[in-house]
Structure 1
Amino acid sequence: MTFYSTSAEHLLFDAARKGDVEYIRQRIADGADLDITDGRGFTPLIIAAYDGHLEATRLLLEAGANANAQDGGGNTALMGVCFKGYPEIARLLVDNGAELNTQNGNGGTALMFATLFGRNELVKVMLEYGADTSIKDVRGLTALDLAYQQGNEEAIALMQPPAADAMETDTPA
């Protein structure tokens, strides 16, 4: 991981921010370092995903960008899309190797971000892919705990363990 220092590298970050697929494609052909970071630790992939640019995200992943790169706070592209609310990009990231249960510097996970910000479609996606609901953040809270704190009834219902089946009785008919 290197920090950018040239104008071409700076332009790659701008292209990721704008979703400029053609410029990104050109930089890839030129051999650009796709895991380069800016001063906050963001990679072009983190930026493209966070800003909702599906095709730019897809192109960067196909070219080998690290789906699990973490910024200065330990946040990943998947956490960013769960914060912002982009289910299709979340699926793309996970399908291309993004780890569901990575924890940031505060112990937060992508599922926790989706829960905290009421992104219930993303809660469903994370659970569908097998996100671990038992992970605790630095305060000892799980995603379900956060859903209760937020009063997010839909997320609570999605994460509640299934109730035990009622016991069958042997009463005659």
Structure 2
Amino acid sequence: MTQPEMSFTPEQITALFIDAARNGENDLVKQFLDAGMPVDCTDGRGYTPLIVATYNDQLDTACLLLDNGADPNGTDAKGATALSGVAFKGYEPIARLLLDRGADIDRPNHAGRTPLMFAIMFGRQGMARLLLERGADPDLRDAEGLSARDLAHRQGLGSLFTETPAP
């Protein structure tokens, strides 16, 4: 008796690849890449393997994907980048990696929100400091006309902009 042949649709293959990135299964991610899987493929929500890996705190997987040509500025269907996601989550080591690999620090999503705005909106003060140290613009405005500085003052985090950097 022969085994039935298993076949997957391109969407299913993409989903398996993105799941491997989400779960930090680097051997499997590498096998997909070696087999010719596009490093910046997207699922139905526009998520790339890099966006999903970074959002799930998979630093080694993010390195692997970037080493294989992943775009650090790729966006999902809402215009969010990997840096926006890690700013929201507070994953500073991944933010440093993305910035070191060319992520646009001020790239807004479709609502005009920047990574710095996300860091401040979700109380990620360490991330906000990192982004400010790396040159994020606190005065860019989102679609509602608010800046990161405005958001910080509303949330009682105005001290982020008055602290003197350590020598």
Q: TM-score, normalised by structure 1?
A: 0.86
Aligned to 1:141: 146
| 1:119 corresponds to which of 115, 124, 129 | 124
Q: What displacement does 1:25 show?
A: 1.2
Provide the C-alpha distance between the structure 1 equivalents of 2:20 and 2:76, rounded to a whole number of angstroms: 18
Equivalent in the alignment of 1:158: 160
- Answer yes or no: is the 8 Å Cα contact 2:14–2:42 preserved in 1: no
What is the rounded CA distance, in whole Å, between the counterparts of 1:137 and 1:72 in structure 2?
17
Amino acid at match of 2:109: N
Matched residues, number: 156
Alignment match, 1:71: 76
Does 1:15 pair with 2:20? yes
1:108-130 deviations in whole A, cap 9, x for unaligned? 00000001101111011101111
> Where do 5+ consecutive residues of structure 1 fail to align?
163-173
> Which deviates further from its counterpart, 23-32 or 65-74?
23-32
Q: Say whether 1:58 aligns with 2:49.
A: no
CA distance in 1, matches of 2:88, 2:77: 17
Q: Which residue, out of 109, 113, 135, partners 1:104?
A: 109
Contact residue 144 and residue 160 of structure 1 kept, 8 A: no
2:10 alignment partner, SS class: coil
Report what 1:24 is aligned to: 29
Structure showing greater radius of gyration is 1
Counterpart Cα distance in 2 of 1:15 and 1:26? 10
Q: Does 1:36 align with 2:41?
A: yes
Structure 2 alignment gaps of length 5 or more: 1-8
Alpha-carbon RMSD across the aligned residues, in angstroms, is 1.5
Post-superposition shift, 1:161? Answer: 8.5
